[in-house]
Structure 1
Amino acid sequence: MDQGDETKACVENLNKETAEINDNETKYNLASGETGITVPERRDEVIEENDFSKKLIIYGVNEDPPIHVTIACALQHCLAYLTGQLVVSFLVAEVVCASNNDVFRARLLSSTMFMSGVTTLLMNLFGIRLPLFQGAGAEFVIPLVLISDLEGTFCSGDFKATETVNMTMGNLTDIMSTEESMDRILTNVRALQGSLMLAGAVHAMIGGFGLVGILIKIVGPLTIVTTMILLFIFLIKIILQFVTVSWAISVSTSVVAVVLFLYLSRYNTLIPVWTPSGGCRIVRYPLHQIFAILISIVINWFICGVLTAYDVFPNDPSSGSFKARTDARVNAIYDNPWFTFPYPGQFGTPGFSAAGILAFAAAVFVSILDSIGDYYATARVCRVPPPPSHGINRGILVEGICTFISGAVGCGHGTATYGETIGTIGVSKVASRKVLTFVGILYIAFGIFGKFSAVFITIPYPVLGGAYVVMVGIFLGVMINSLEVTSMSSPRNIAILGLSVCMGLAVPTWAHSVDQPVNTGHEKFDRLLSMFLKNPNILGTFLACLLDNTVPGTRKERGMFGESGEDSVSPSGLYNEGEEVYKPLFPSRWLRWKIMKYIPFLPYEGAKEETCTNWELN
């Protein structure tokens, strides 16, 4: 920052009280049910024609809504992220061969929800400090699905103890079979624990040493969008395992959700409310849009219950439609304890897997790219300045630490920033950090109450599949929308995106179609290399990043972070709050120590204070 910028910052700080008075004129009383917004004409003249500048936030990041508003919004966020936690946890269970062990799946889900709460609290209190939800990252599961398909790993026949027993004792009892199955599950989970912890440590170091700044300079929207497109396309293979149980229920779930949040998007739900000041009255609120997926799940869950009561779905575990029954996994509720407290090492001493380490290393890179994009998008919808480098570094550092803890607990996946937060804030207009702090507390409670987690295990597979189809479709659209900051009329950008996605799909398709994509004579090396060839993210992301940095083009054309026109708009016209939202929870006097200059994830405020003092004296 040069002298002119520092002087300008000082002037803005001296006029802060006046700006806050003008900002307060745009607020309205949510608790009283008022929906009108008074905007001063002077402020309208400053705001440019920009979609984000027209977004109005009722409660800003640093503001505290009334307790009843905070709780209601926190519950809304919790329900919005619930499906993602369920699906990722179920995918981990598939990978470690626990798809038929409902008790273990319930315990795994409890661990996932507990860690989601812990990581959300840490991110909002000590991380980048934007209102973000940290949950189970699908980026960490997809490479594991590829590992599980490789011969000699995880659910294949390389589990020696089970094979020996099966060959020598054909008359094993059901109890003994269950014990052997549990041995296999715990062995697989332990192999993932150490690998995930190592990946989390690398993740944290990237943020702690400020290496994220290097990524921001070379990784742009074209690379991120390519990565996410290939990621979601690969998810189709996994989603089909849930959808094919009953296409009718899956389609019904998707259709109900689409009707609620698309076809009925122009209408608001009439809700009777009562307040001390206004008494009883009817308010209009887009309830069916906010909870579209949840409402769809509940409706079709009920339909499955009716069909189960009349035995439309056969009560035969060997039948393909059995998992559409609501009582298929009801024993998990009875067998699961009332209270459970996930802790590091609950599944045994962590182990390591070479394939797991490589898979998680690739997932770390994808997760960082996704999180950086979410940070900027969240800042835009909250009407705050783009995150500074120290905020991004601190956010990635906290994500890495939380991934390390998740590995120690045995979740089987790392943590990632959820883009659904952007949509939820955009609808509710409440961007308060306090709301997400309550979300973290609620998820910790969900994880501790074991039977609560077990209830969600009973959701029929096709209902989950239909809901996930809608979620993946929405997220894919949000990711593609990130290209709006690039010049997509440029032949350069069109060619890079098309070639990267095409090659990212072509090579894995070929690798899956042949028995042995690589044959060097070294079996383990061939398996690992085949795993990378079958991963659509690796080649597509590498090619997109390579072309984006070598083909001539301006940074504005590439849509690099911090190069868009919105960043140059005065905060008084676009932003409701300043960069103070990213200030870490440290005493101000600590941040004035000169050592802070050398810590990438903390701001240094000493130079700014000295400049302001000198300016005032002059």
Structure 2
Amino acid sequence: MVRTDRCKKLFTCKEKPLDPEKLGRMESLDVDRSPSLLLNIALALQHVLVLSSVCAMVVSALIQEVDKDRIVAHVLFYSGISTLLQSWIGSRLPLIQAPSLDFLIPALALLSAQSGTPVACRGQCIEAEEPVAPAHPIRELRGMTLVSGIVQLAMGLTGLSGFALGRCRPLVLAPVLCILGFSIYREAALLCSDHWGMAALAVVLLVLLSQHLHVFLRLSVFSVSRRLSVLLSVMVSWAVCAALVRWGHVHLNSVTQMLSTKRNATFIQSTNSPHSSDFVFPNDSVPWLDFPLLASALPLLSGNSIAAGVAGGLSASISSPAVYMMAARLLKAPVPPAHACNRGLCVDGIGSVIAGLMGAPVGLCSSVPNACVIGLSQSGSRSTVQIAGVLLLILGVSPQLAQMLCSVPLAIHGAVLSVTYALAVATGITYFQHADVDSGRNIFNIGFTMFMSLALPRWFRLHYSFIQTGVASVDVLLQSLLTLPVFFVGVLAFLLEHTVSGTLSERGLMRHEGTKKILSLADQQQGYSLSPDSVYDPPPPVRKVLELTGFRTVPFCACRSPAVEDVLVTVPEMSSLLPDKDAGVGSG
């Protein structure tokens, strides 16, 4: 009660009255406000479709066509579990958990080490003439998933993730978010190349529904056309493509067919190529019910799988906190505190550990495209992702239903990824406004970081045999880390920001007169809080558990809310990215 009264006093600051349009926008982005039931289910289904695009890219690149539907169903099931945990005891942000490039690139490096063929080049290198069949590919991939989950869990429990995030200023977050978006452009273009006409149709529909049509449809402040722009565009494009495939005017390919240049490449694929219509119309041979049970064989923890898992876990530990910051900015919510970030990464790790033990070949982390859907639909309710988690559990126990998601044409998946990841780039660019972009220091840091984070991983992919240390596990670790753009940009941006001298104003920082704390101008604009916000506080039962004596020490102390501190709140300008000079600042 003392904390509540204290916060009320601190929240009473002079502010300009907001017009109805601003108030409507604030309400639509409230994580605790639930839309109507039907709209909420439709928004949840939209998240599931976006997640299916990620699964189509990651899972289909590793698993043979025979087992793809069952494995995808299992991944969806574990994504649903992790999503529900994330919204309940994790960061509490409306985020979907999904596989990503953070696990795909190390997995490809692991398969390459098994067979001696440069799989991580993704069709750009000269392949060996006689590739060797992998011994236990699935078990080693599961071992990699298990290790990556342990790394994520360790980063969260020790508090390293929240500690580093608290020192990530605008000139660190901006390059990381930009590279998060740019890192997918090759894969998205590859999926779109399956049929550029279908991809163009989906992109045009997405732009029209999300940016133009809602202006003419005055159904509400944010019309249904904008909120469900992804769902509507995917369904219309899918229907058109299905009709063209039925009439024989369109022929589709699988991910493995597009990624590999040879039939017997080292991807885990079957010898029989599926027919084009299999990607649009479900196959009756797939069972309706198949509950994901514990795998018969344990994950294989070889040196290579451990090395790939460490690389994937480190990269996911950089990308997930960045997604937390991006989601908070799109929601116009206060910046995630350290304990919320640590809990979120712990949930990511738990999800990956469960997935690895139960048979999934890839780990889980916060999904970038699903977070970008918040900005696209202007709807970020926590109840939406919880319904999406339940839908994922239902899909996860029915391979037949999961196959329906797999049957969405790859070109449409590529279009969805292209538009959603573009918002990650745009969100990163917004951080540049808070720093002095004319400063020579910042010009060098930004340009060097972003260019090298794109150029060096591509160079190492093209020269895959450059790393030859004589130790296979060390080779896998280095090959994985050096081909991960997110790892590069996170390390380079952090080091340059904290080693190159510069003033506070250059870096987009300010020192508060009362507390003498160094604050980020980006955080101040959207509302900065040193104490836990209602967005991030776990439910009362979880708080009571964390307050127990045994959980007040290492390693659980990093996940607990700190003692009540002074709260500094600023009123953000909701209609513009530029700060309002007249907005009052409350002092703690």
Taking structure 2 as the reference length, the TM-score comes to: 0.76
Paired with 2:204 and 2:397, the residues of 1 have a C-alpha distance of: 34
- What is the aligned counterpart of 1:83 among 50, 56, 65? 50
Taking the TM superposition and a 5 Å limit, the aligned residue runs for 1:411-450 are: 411-420=360-369, 424-425=373-374, 431-450=380-399
Equivalent in the alignment of 2:206: 257
Distance 1:125 1:219, change over 3 A: same
- What is the aligned counterpart of 1:585 among 527, 533, 539? 539
Task: Kindly indicate whether residue 193 of structure 2 is the aligned counterpart of residue 239 of structure 1.
Answer: no
Paired with 2:473 and 2:312, the residues of 1 have a C-alpha distance of: 21
Deviation by residue 1:15-35 (Cα, 9 ceiling, x = unmatched): 69xx8xx9xxxxxxxxxxxxx
- What is the aligned counterpart of 1:292 among 229, 238, 257? 229
Identity %, equivalent residues: 23
Paired with 1:436 and 1:254, the residues of 2 have a C-alpha distance of: 24
Distance 1:569 1:453, change over 3 A: closer
- Secondary structure class of the residue paired with 1:563: strand
Equivalent in the alignment of 2:107: 144
Equivalent in the alignment of 1:104: 67
Q: Which amino acid aligns with 2:300?
A: G
Task: Kindly indicate whether residue 423 of structure 2 is the aligned counterpart of residue 474 of structure 1.
Answer: yes
Distance 1:323 1:304, change over 3 A: farther
Taking structure 1 as the reference length, the TM-score comes to: 0.72
Paired with 1:52 and 1:547, the residues of 2 have a C-alpha distance of: 38
Distance 1:524 1:135, change over 3 A: closer
Task: Kindly indicate whether residue 6 of structure 2 is the aligned counterpart of residue 45 of structure 1.
Answer: no
Task: Kindly indicate whether residue 247 of structure 2 is the aligned counterpart of residue 310 of structure 1.
Answer: yes
Paired with 1:244 and 1:422, the residues of 2 have a C-alpha distance of: 25
Paired with 2:170 and 2:423, the residues of 1 have a C-alpha distance of: 18
> Is residue 106–residue 454 contact of structure 1 (8 Å, CA) maintained in 2?
yes
Aligned residue-pair number:
528
Deviation by residue 1:219-266 (Cα, 9 ceiling, x = unmatched): 444344434444544433333432333233223332332233234353
> Is residue 592–residue 604 contact of structure 1 (8 Å, CA) maintained in 2?
no
Deviation by residue 1:100-140 (Cα, 9 ceiling, x = unmatched): x1x41111221122112111111111112233322333322
Distance 1:594 1:113, change over 3 A: closer
- What is the aligned counterpart of 2:295 among 342, 345, 348? 345
- What is the aligned counterpart of 1:56 among 4, 26, 47? 26
Taking the TM superposition and a 5 Å limit, the aligned residue runs for 1:194-233 are: 194-233=143-182
Equivalent in the alignment of 2:89: 126
- What is the aligned counterpart of 1:602 among 553, 560, 563? 560
Paired with 1:475 and 1:108, the residues of 2 have a C-alpha distance of: 28
Paired with 1:524 and 1:359, the residues of 2 have a C-alpha distance of: 8
Distance 1:529 1:489, change over 3 A: same
- Secondary structure class of the residue paired with 1:371: helix
Taking the TM superposition and a 5 Å limit, the aligned residue runs for 1:147-546 are: 147-148=110-111, 152=115, 187-264=136-213, 266-268=215-217, 285-313=222-250, 327-329=277-279, 333-345=283-295, 348-382=297-331, 384-420=333-369, 424-425=373-374, 431-514=380-463, 516-519=465-468, 529-546=478-495
Distance 1:479 1:154, change over 3 A: farther
Distance 1:489 1:370, change over 3 A: farther
Q: Which amino acid aligns with 1:253?
A: A
Equivalent in the alignment of 2:513: none
> Is residue 407–residue 414 contact of structure 1 (8 Å, CA) maintained in 2?
yes
Distance 1:476 1:521, change over 3 A: same
Distance 1:264 1:211, change over 3 A: same
- Secondary structure class of the residue paired with 1:94: coil
Paired with 1:307 and 1:95, the residues of 2 have a C-alpha distance of: 28
**Pair member with larger Rg:** 1
Distance 1:579 1:236, change over 3 A: closer
- Secondary structure class of the residue paired with 2:441: helix
Distance 1:544 1:206, change over 3 A: same
Q: Which amino acid aligns with 1:93?
A: S
- Secondary structure class of the residue paired with 2:465: coil
Q: Following TM superposition, by how much is the alpha carbon of 1:391 offset from its aligned partner in structure 2, in angstroms?
A: 2.0
Deviation by residue 1:462-487 (Cα, 9 ceiling, x = unmatched): 23223332233233323333444444
Q: Which amino acid aligns with 1:190?
A: R
Paired with 1:508 and 1:578, the residues of 2 have a C-alpha distance of: 38
- Secondary structure class of the residue paired with 1:128: coil
Distance 1:589 1:532, change over 3 A: closer
- Secondary structure class of the residue paired with 2:365: strand
> Is residue 229–residue 377 contact of structure 2 (8 Å, CA) maintained in 1?
no
Paired with 1:532 and 1:448, the residues of 2 have a C-alpha distance of: 34
Q: Following TM superposition, by how much is the alpha carbon of 1:582 offset from its aligned partner in structure 2, in angstroms?
A: 2.9
Paired with 1:554 and 1:396, the residues of 2 have a C-alpha distance of: 32
Distance 1:432 1:607, change over 3 A: same
Q: CA RMSD of the aligned region, Å?
A: 4.3
Q: Which amino acid aligns with 2:291?
A: F
Paired with 2:9 and 2:489, the residues of 1 have a C-alpha distance of: 49
Q: Following TM superposition, by how much is the alpha carbon of 1:455 offset from its aligned partner in structure 2, in angstroms?
A: 1.4
> Is residue 178–residue 426 contact of structure 2 (8 Å, CA) maintained in 1?
no
Equivalent in the alignment of 1:26: none
- Secondary structure class of the residue paired with 2:115: coil
Between 535-544 and 443-452, report the one with greater CA deviation. 535-544
Point out where structure 2 has 5 or more consecutive residues left out of the alignment.
120-129, 259-271, 511-517, 567-588
Distance 1:72 1:211, change over 3 A: same
Equivalent in the alignment of 2:264: none
> Is residue 323–residue 460 contact of structure 1 (8 Å, CA) maintained in 2?
no
Distance 1:465 1:557, change over 3 A: same
Deviation by residue 1:179-212 (Cα, 9 ceiling, x = unmatched): xxxx979932211111211221121122112222
Q: Which amino acid aligns with 1:12?
A: R
Paired with 2:563 and 2:93, the residues of 1 have a C-alpha distance of: 20
Equivalent in the alignment of 1:94: 61
> Is residue 350–residue 408 contact of structure 1 (8 Å, CA) maintained in 2?
yes
> Is residue 197–residue 403 contact of structure 1 (8 Å, CA) maintained in 2?
yes
Equivalent in the alignment of 1:73: 40
Paired with 2:502 and 2:75, the residues of 1 have a C-alpha distance of: 43
Distance 1:140 1:224, change over 3 A: farther
Q: Which amino acid aligns with 1:460?
A: P
Distance 1:325 1:497, change over 3 A: farther
> Is residue 500–residue 544 contact of structure 1 (8 Å, CA) maintained in 2?
yes
> Is residue 105–residue 483 contact of structure 2 (8 Å, CA) maintained in 1?
no
Paired with 1:570 and 1:222, the residues of 2 have a C-alpha distance of: 17
Q: Which amino acid aligns with 2:91?
A: I
Between 85-94 and 543-552, report the one with greater CA deviation. 85-94
Paired with 1:519 and 1:312, the residues of 2 have a C-alpha distance of: 48
Distance 1:79 1:493, change over 3 A: same
